[in-house]
């Protein structure tokens, strides 16, 4: 009989949220999406999906206005409508790191744009993190 060591997955298990937090799109002005909820902080990542599921984008919380969130999308917003569902991931945008990045070309969100396929890495880092000390 084989088993999976708990230590190997303890960190990931601790970060899993079993409660979904939702909001809804109330307004779009230019590229800024306004949402009633969910209650999350600036810098957190959300998914926005329209009623029929045909449009789904990622967006980052960049501010607040009254009791509403201001979201900046990471892609085209066509198909997003008033009342579209906003779901929080309670995570910051992350990118894969490791030896797999050597010689690769990435876009601004860490996605490969060189046509060499996905980057397979179990290690990720937040996009907004302090730089690694160069002299250490």
Q: What is the CATH number of the domain that holds 56?
A: 2.40.10.170
Q: By residue range, what is the domain housing residue 66?
A: 20-88
pLDDT for residue 18 is more than 70: no
Same domain? For 97 and 49 the reply is no
- Is residue 3 in a domain? no
Same domain? For 45 and 58 the reply is yes
pLDDT at residue number 19: 64
The predicted-structure confidence for 85-123, as pLDDT tens digits, reads as follows 998 876 777 777 888 888 888 877 677 888 998 888 888
Per the structure, how many domains does the chain have? Answer: 2
The predicted-structure confidence for 99-109, as pLDDT tens digits, reads as follows 888 888 887 76
Same domain? For 81 and 25 the reply is yes
Same domain? For 84 and 127 the reply is no
CA-to-CA separations, 118 to 50, 56, 110, 111, in angstroms, rounded? 27, 20, 10, 8
Same domain? For 100 and 40 the reply is no
Helices first, then strands: H and E counts in the chain: 1, 8
- Is residue 6 in a domain? no
């Amino acid at each position: 009989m084989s088993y999976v060591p708990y230590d190997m997955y303890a960190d990931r298990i601790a970060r899993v949220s079993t409660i979904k937090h939702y909001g809804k799109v109330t307004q779009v002005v230019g590229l800024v999406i306004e949402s009633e909820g969910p209650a999350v902080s600036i810098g957190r990542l959300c998914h926005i999906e329209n009623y029929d599921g045909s449009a789904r984008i990622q967006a980052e919380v960049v501010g607040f206005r009254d009791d509403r969130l201001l979201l900046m999308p990471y892609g085209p917003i066509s198909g997003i409508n008033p009342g579209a569902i906003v779901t929080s991931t309670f995570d910051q945008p992350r990118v894969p790191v490791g030896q797999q990045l050597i010689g690769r070309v990435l876009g601004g969100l860490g996605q490969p744009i060189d046509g060499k396929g996905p980057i397979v890495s179990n290690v990720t880092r937040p996009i907004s993190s302090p730089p690694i000390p160069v002299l250490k």
